[in-house]
Amino acid sequence: MTVTKRQIEIIEYVMNNVSGITGDKLAKYFGVSSRTIRNDILQINSALKGDPLLCQTEGRLLSPSIKASKRIGYYITQGDMEYFRAVLSGGSDRNHVIAPHNRGYAILGHALEEGSCNLYDLEEELFLSQTALREEVLKLRRMLEDKMDLCILVLEGNQARVVDNEEKIRLSIFNIIKYEVQTHTDWGSDYLELLFRGQFDRGEYELFVKAVKDYFGGHEILVSDASLYMVVGAIYATVMRKRQGHELFGVKADEFPVEVLTNLLYHLKAQKLDLTESDEALLKIFLYSIRLVQSQGDTRASALSGVILNEFCQEVLAKYSFDLHQSDELFNNMALHLEYLIRRIDTGYRIDNPILQDIKTQYPYAYEIAILLVPIMFKYKSIPIRDEEIAYMALYVAYFLEKVNRRLKTVVISAPRQSVNAVICNWLNDHFQNQIELVKVLPKHQLEYPSPYGDEGAVTASAVDLIISTEGQRVKTDIPVFRINGIPNQQDFSALNGFIRRMRVSRRFTTIVNKYFNTQCIKIFAKDAGSADWAGKAPFEIVIETLSRKFKEQDKIETVEEYVDDVLSREVNYPTVIGESVMIPHPLMTFAKETAVAAAILKPPVTICKKAVKVIFLLAIEGRPNDDVSILFEFFKQVAMNENLVNTLYEAKDETDFLNRLISISTSIELF
């Protein structure tokens, strides 16, 4: 099919507006008339009808098109999306259009080939303006800098030029491979084709894939799909660079033992690799940083990771009174994770964590505990751990906290059909064995009308924590009841998980709020009322100083200066914004005399970490273990996850009103 540059951009724009976009808005965006937009869309749809590759599958003729509606404007149905993605990927003419997420690689490929490329020459090939091409270069630079502090592509006028030595260039390519494999689960090779242009041979690449698969399979070495394609990509990229005439010298990797690579390269001798010692050394450095092998031999952690983990566990025990050593499985998994964290530090590679914010929001208490690893790692490696690494460690801690909590003694109300009873009990044992303990299965009447002669196993609030009611049976009791209608499903699983979490903590919310909040430690910062003077300092700094002084006035902390410095330092490296508009700052190292909370409302909101922060809860945490802290974190999370609750607090008229609203929320909050 043949379409113009503007028509390609129209397709992209409509795809990105899944709810529809009017012709007038399209016309305004592209600087043309509405009639021109209509004609362009007619041409797009006509071209699609004439493309046999896009319009025929399994013997059926299809008619993907941009649809029009008077109500929502132009749109693309979900069913047609894949065909339009094929258009953007080139369809039957792969050289015609390049997928948007690959454009940066196309530019880099041109620059790698000759050392530089002229952006003017790429306008027609990529269907992009000079401005858009420059943005693609900057996006690629930002990605490489974020992954490994490498910057091999620079803009000089209309030239995109490759800088740095061959080692840095290859490491950058390896990082691109790692990023693509971790980001896209189809593990395609389109990006490699763009990076190596005329040198890339798809058939040869597939032979490499097969040879690597055969080696791992033949030697019964278990590797993940992602690791396999990282290995293939890195080796093949090394071969490509050598074919392009780029030699590597002076790289040593004796301290990075990767025995499996040596054996693999020998196995691949049929592919005529012809690699030098430096080539193999750089491959070792890269593969050392990833979790390559999942065999039994991969479960051994180094002595250093064991030392670090033991110190971490001791700190957790001292400060939070629970022992991570209780679970051998958890301890071994954490040790292995630490081993690869150390490897990443040693080799300069960074890990991606696409669920970073989700972890910090869902498990703030576990994240806080995981931060204890920061000074320990710094002691041994002299480098601060990134947020992404801390968040992954927090997942191990969160798993432990959920597992070691006391199981709820649970009674199941007998269903009319015994088969349903069996299914429900098995389901509960399979999915909730770490959270509940099944003590009885009883008919409804025995629960509501117990024997007058007494029963040693009587169902009372002191003996039983939870009742599971089957098939919607309503039960009169003071004990919390969870109803399951028929055969339990995924919805029941999610609902019961939330119900159990609510039982564990929500009843304590009101007690915690009354215990730790008072009007003396609450302040409304209203700029228009003149009560917030930001002069000379950032608003956030002023807020923290003000609330810290309130702590000092109540003798909760030793010194304001030390406390503020630690809070501000921690926020630089490990920000505490959760949700969209709530922040829970607290020091990394400085402990308080007594646990306390101060609160601030910011009117107008202050932008912190690209979020409009409305409410700040400043924490002072004493050095002695205190289970109340976990409840506080859970309460803050529940507030932060519900913007309606945040706005309820934000609309408080004064400090007393804020406290009353907080108490009201604590009594009615429902856990997510």
Three-class SS of 468-512: EEECCCCCCCCCCEEEECCCCCHHHHHHHHHHHHHHHHHHHHHHH
Amino acid (one-letter) located at 239:
V
Please answer whether residues 398 and 327 qualify as being in contact, where contact means their C-beta atoms are separated by less than 8 angstroms.
Answer: no
> Can you give the pLDDT at residue 527?
66
Mean pLDDT is lowest, of 268-272, 515-519, 546-550, for 268-272
> Can you give the pLDDT at residue 491?
87
Residues in the chain: 672
Helix (H) or strand (E) run with residue 413 in it: strand 408-413
Positive or negative: CA dihedral 264, 269, 271, 273: positive
When pLDDT is averaged across residues 138-153 and rounded to a whole number, the result is 78
pLDDT higher than threshold 50 for residue 278? yes
Residue 645: pLDDT band by 50, 70, 90 thresholds?
Answer: very high
pLDDT higher than threshold 60 for residue 172? yes
pLDDT higher than threshold 80 for residue 175? yes
Helix axes of 277-288 and 166-183: crossing angle, nearest 10 degrees: 40
CA–CA distance, 621 with 627 (Å, rounded to integer): 11
Amino acid (one-letter) located at 598:
A
Residues 6 or more apart whose CB falls under 8 angstroms from that of 347 comprise: 256, 285, 286, 288, 289
Residue 305: pLDDT band by 50, 70, 90 thresholds?
Answer: confident
| Cα–Cα separations (whole angstroms), residue 122 to 99, 160, 582 | 14, 11, 45
When pLDDT is averaged across residues 157-169 and rounded to a whole number, the result is 87
Which is nearest to 136 in space by CA: 153, 149, 112, 116? Answer: 153
> Can you give the pLDDT at residue 301?
58
> Can you give the pLDDT at residue 94?
39
Of 649 and 224, the one with more pLDDT? 649
When pLDDT is averaged across residues 487-495 and rounded to a whole number, the result is 87
Residue 184: pLDDT band by 50, 70, 90 thresholds?
Answer: confident
Global confidence as pTM:
0.56
Report the share of the chain in percent with pLDDT over 70.
84
pLDDT higher than threshold 80 for residue 560? yes
645 burial class (0-12, 13-18, 19+ CB within 10 angstroms)? buried
CA–CA distance, 458 with 446 (Å, rounded to integer): 10
pLDDT higher than threshold 70 for residue 642? yes
CA–CA distance, 283 with 189 (Å, rounded to integer): 19
Radius of gyration of the chain (CA): 30
> Can you give the pLDDT at residue 599?
94
> Can you give the pLDDT at residue 7?
82
When pLDDT is averaged across residues 110-123 and rounded to a whole number, the result is 86
pLDDT higher than threshold 90 for residue 499? no
Q: Dihedrals φ, ψ of 345, to 5°?
A: -65, -45
Residue 589: pLDDT band by 50, 70, 90 thresholds?
Answer: confident
When pLDDT is averaged across residues 374-381 and rounded to a whole number, the result is 89
CA–CA distance, 309 with 337 (Å, rounded to integer): 10
CA–CA distance, 49 with 61 (Å, rounded to integer): 9
Average pLDDT, the chain: 81
pLDDT higher than threshold 90 for residue 656? yes
When pLDDT is averaged across residues 364-377 and rounded to a whole number, the result is 90
Helix axes of 202-218 and 225-243: crossing angle, nearest 10 degrees: 130
| Cα–Cα separations (whole angstroms), residue 457 to 435, 441, 454, 606 | 21, 12, 9, 57
Q: How far is CA 80 from the centre of its chain?
A: 29
Please answer whether residues 563 and 557 qualify as being in contact, where contact means their C-beta atoms are separated by less than 8 angstroms.
Answer: yes
When pLDDT is averaged across residues 498-509 and rounded to a whole number, the result is 72
Name the β-bridge partners of 622: 592
Rounded to 5°, angle at Cα 621 from 588 and 382: 15
When pLDDT is averaged across residues 594-600 and rounded to a whole number, the result is 92
* pLDDT tens, residue by residue, 2-34: 567 788 888 888 888 877 899 888 988 888 888
CA–CA distance, 57 with 80 (Å, rounded to integer): 13
Which is nearest to 412 in space by CA: 456, 361, 373, 470? Answer: 470
Residues 6 or more apart whose CB falls under 8 angstroms from that of 458 comprise: 450
The one-character DSSP state at 654 is: S
Mean pLDDT is lowest, of 300-314, 595-609, 641-655, for 300-314
Report the share of the chain in percent with pLDDT over 90.
16
pLDDT higher than threshold 80 for residue 116? yes
CA–CA distance, 484 with 489 (Å, rounded to integer): 9
Residue 506: pLDDT band by 50, 70, 90 thresholds?
Answer: low
> Can you give the pLDDT at residue 99?
63
> Can you give the pLDDT at residue 472?
66
> And the tokens for 228?
């396999």
pLDDT higher than threshold 80 for residue 455? no
Amino acid (one-letter) located at 584:
I
CA–CA distance, 301 with 324 (Å, rounded to integer): 17
Phi-psi region of 670 (alpha: psi -120 to 50; beta: other; left: phi over 0): beta
The one-character DSSP state at 614 is: E
Name the β-bridge partners of 620: 596
CA–CA distance, 205 with 103 (Å, rounded to integer): 21
Q: How far is CA 178 from the centre of its chain?
A: 16
* pLDDT tens, residue by residue, 381-435: 888 888 888 988 999 898 888 776 667 788 898 877 778 888 889 999 888 887 8
Would you call 440 helix, strand, or coil by DSSP? strand
CA–CA distance, 551 with 615 (Å, rounded to integer): 18
> Can you give the pLDDT at residue 54?
43
* pLDDT tens, residue by residue, 315-346: 888 887 778 887 777 888 888 888 878 877 87
pLDDT higher than threshold 80 for residue 612? yes
For 471-624, list the strands marked E by DSSP: 481-484, 522-526, 577-578, 582-583, 596-608, 611-620
When pLDDT is averaged across residues 268-291 and rounded to a whole number, the result is 81
> Can you give the pLDDT at residue 69?
85
CA–CA distance, 79 with 60 (Å, rounded to integer): 15
Helix (H) or strand (E) run with residue 404 in it: helix 387-404
> Can you give the pLDDT at residue 295?
40
